[in-house]
Amino acid sequence: MSTNIVCPSGLAGEIRGLKGKEGKLLADRAAARAGSTFEKILSGCWLSTTDAALYEVPEGGALNWSKVLVADRFYALLQIRALTFGDEYAFSVQCQSASCRERFEWTLNLKDLPVRPLSDAAKAAIKAGNRFETKLPRDGRKVWFRLMTGADEVRAATVLRAAKDGMLLTALALRIVEIEGVVETDKRKFLDEMEMADAAALLDQFDDADGGVETSIEVECPSCMGVQEVQLPFERGFFLPRSKGRTDG
């Protein structure tokens, strides 16, 4: 079975569902450590490109997924999963309330996740060198950042695993291209001293520019009825769903 999809940037093509060879990839720990699992799934399940949008695809050649924006990659993976197993996705959640901590199963329809197309301004910035400009609200200086591609995502995963300065500063450093008045060697020191209000504003700017699938969802604990926000789990179980009625223990 195959279907046609249009990604947030306008990238369009035909995809198929997962086959046994992709299932083998999900169990390949070496590929997971190298960050190539999803790359291989995308390459195998993307049958053809009908609109290359922002990307260069050689005539008769294949799309280079390492150069594709993370928003497009995630959307394509989401559609591949839905085509394979259907739109319903069940996953385990633990209540965040200290007085509850109940673990329960939550089910959602993947089609209900909002998708924000990449804006025309963002597309223009990508074509002009993937350089986005913003201003720190407290500090006042300009900051330039980039949207992440597949290659960036793999590199970021490696850097974050080895990070000693915490995920927040490392995530900011990976995406910031330039800070007004700050030389490259002083960038990390500047981030260390940055006010948290400015850091939060930068993260919001990243999210606004990225577009793509909104993965923050609200769930309600059936035990204490508390509502909490969680991130959609995107891991091995996403592509290898467990039998209905079972939860991860």
CA–CA dist 45, 93 (Å, integer)? 29
> In sequence order, which residues have a C-beta less than 8 Å from that of residue 62 and are 6 or more positions away?
43, 46
Is pLDDT at 15 greater than 90 in this prediction? yes
Q: Is 134 helix (H, G, I), strand (E, B) or coil?
A: strand
Q: Which helix (H) or strand (E) holds 32?
A: helix 29-34
CATH architecture of residue range(s) 119-210:
2-Layer Sandwich (3.30)
Q: What is the pLDDT of residues 206-215, one digit of tens each?
A: 988 988 999 8
Location of structure tokens 């046994």: 20
CA–CA dist 116, 243 (Å, integer)? 31
Q: Which residue has the higher pLDDT, 156 or 97?
A: 97
195 alpha carbon, distance to own chain's centre: 26
Q: Which residue has the higher pLDDT, 112 or 158?
A: 112
Q: Which residue has the higher pLDDT, 161 or 20?
A: 20
> In sequence order, which residues have a C-beta less than 8 Å from that of residue 234 and are 6 or more positions away?
74, 215
Each domain of the chain, given as residue ranges in start order, spans 2-114+214-239, 119-210
The band of 82, judged by pLDDT with boundaries at 50, 70 and 90, is very high
Q: pLDDT exceeding 90 applies to what percent of the chain?
A: 64
